[in-house]
Amino acid sequence: MLLETLTLNQFRNYEAQQAAFCPGLNLLSGPNGHGKTNLLEAIHYGCLAHSQRTRKDKELIRWGASAFVLRLQGRVGEQAHTQSVEYAESGHKRVKVEGRESKRLSDLLGHFSVVSFSPEDLDLIRSGPQLRRRFLDVLLCQFSLDYLDTLRHYNGALKQRNSLLKQMGGNDVLAAYDEPLVEHGTRITLMRRRALADMAPLAGEAYRFISDAGEELTLGLSGSVSDASEEASLRAAFRRKLESLRVAERETGVTLAGPHREDLAIDLSGRPARDFGSQGQKRSVALSLKLASARLLEAKQGRWPILLLDDVFAELDESRRRRIGDLVRGKGQVFIANPRAADLPFEPEKTLNLRHGTLA
């Protein structure tokens, strides 16, 4: 996978710019506030049609403009590939793949895969379950259109069911809304578990590699309706759970069980990293999760995803930087924003100098 050019129009502080990239390491350099993170964000958005740092797409439109367009061109496998995404302030998102307008946003996925690293990844460990579910969802959607589709159905069913609960405190009609929730929800849980089973050893390995400590990183899915591993039993357990929650759901007006309540359990030697990990351990865990995502994508798609690293090396000591450098060198394309020269893990193939939203 190779991203050769990125064209930005009215995105953040970029008016109209084109950037050309190299295989290997691309360094984005420039003073603070001049657009390094914005350029990484543009790559991410161009690949997946959403930002890694905000869900408010409107913020991404250049101040004073009414829409932005990002266009990516490069190679996926041996094939030339182009895709573009346009977002207008009306909230309308348009996607083109190989120059043809696409009805579904999901057509954008599966070509350029991407994993972003930033100091905010620490929130994955520190914050509530929502961010962790999103992390899992974004990862799974990149390699499984089935997951994306099922998640969309599940979210639709959940929204309908919740609005019914709110309108009339739930009544006998409610049960009719259980079935789509159970159907799609069961599949979501199973697909998440399967992905985590694949990812856990990769994350454990990454953690051993970047931290010298003896504790062991393990991942699991918590908060599921049941531990049943078989689809039919899980489905039955989900139905029973919803029945047992009727009264409570009428009181609260929301659906109280299902994948939207699950969490990614992250433990260090059997204890939740969130509660017991030191700051440094949490940082290493966050980094391990991201490295494991990249390796999982590689395993699923047969190619290393694009890596976006925003200011992460500054926090690591030299030996860790070198080890991570060794891990990603020669694997694929890496974009790094603004490390001090001494923090670079290896020599960049190309340096892009950014000044006030222009590429010098």
Ligand X SMILES: Nc1ncnc2c1ncn2[C@@H]1O[C@H](COP(=O)(O)OP(=O)(O)O)[C@@H](O)[C@H]1O
Residue 34 binds: one of Mg ion, ligand X, none (C-beta under 5 to 8 A by kind):
ligand X
Cβ–Cβ < 8 Å for 191, 261: no
Residue 187 binds: one of Mg ion, ligand X, none (C-beta under 5 to 8 A by kind):
none
Least distance CB 190 / Mg ion (angstroms): 38
CA–CA gap between residue 319 and residue 326 (Å, rounded): 11
The mark string for 26-55 relative to Mg ion (x by CB under 5 A, - otherwise) is ----------xx------------------
Could you tell me the two tokens for 216? 């062991």
- Measure CA of the first residue to CA of the last residue in the chain; give whole Å: 26
**Residue number with CB closer to Mg ion (37 or 84):** 37
**Residue number with CB closer to Mg ion (37 or 186):** 37
Residue 283 binds: one of ligand X, Mg ion, none (C-beta under 5 to 8 A by kind):
none
Cβ–Cβ < 8 Å for 336, 26: yes
Least distance CB 36 / ligand X (angstroms): 3
**Residue number with CB closer to Mg ion (12 or 260):** 12
**Residue number with CB closer to ligand X (59 or 89):** 59
CA–CA gap between residue 48 and residue 44 (Å, rounded): 6
**Residue number with CB closer to Mg ion (119 or 280):** 119
Least distance CB 66 / ligand X (angstroms): 12
CA–CA gap between residue 46 and residue 84 (Å, rounded): 6
Least distance CB 355 / ligand X (angstroms): 10
Residues near ligand X (CB under 6 A): 12-13, 30, 32-38, 59, 61-63, 337
Please give the backbone phi and psi of residue 97, each rounded to the nearest 5 degrees, phi first.
Answer: -125, 130
Least distance CB 94 / Mg ion (angstroms): 28
Residue 272 binds: one of ligand X, Mg ion, none (C-beta under 5 to 8 A by kind):
none
Q: Should residue 189 be labelled a site residue for Mg ion when binding is judged by CB under 5 A? A: no
SS3 35: coil
CA–CA gap between residue 45 and residue 114 (Å, rounded): 10
DSSP string spanning 87-106? EETTS-EEEEETTEEES-GG
75, HSE (Cβ side, Cα atoms, 13 Å): 9
Q: What is the DSSP letter of 308?
A: E
Least distance CB 74 / Mg ion (angstroms): 24
Q: Which residues bind Mg ion (CB under 5 A)?
A: 36-37
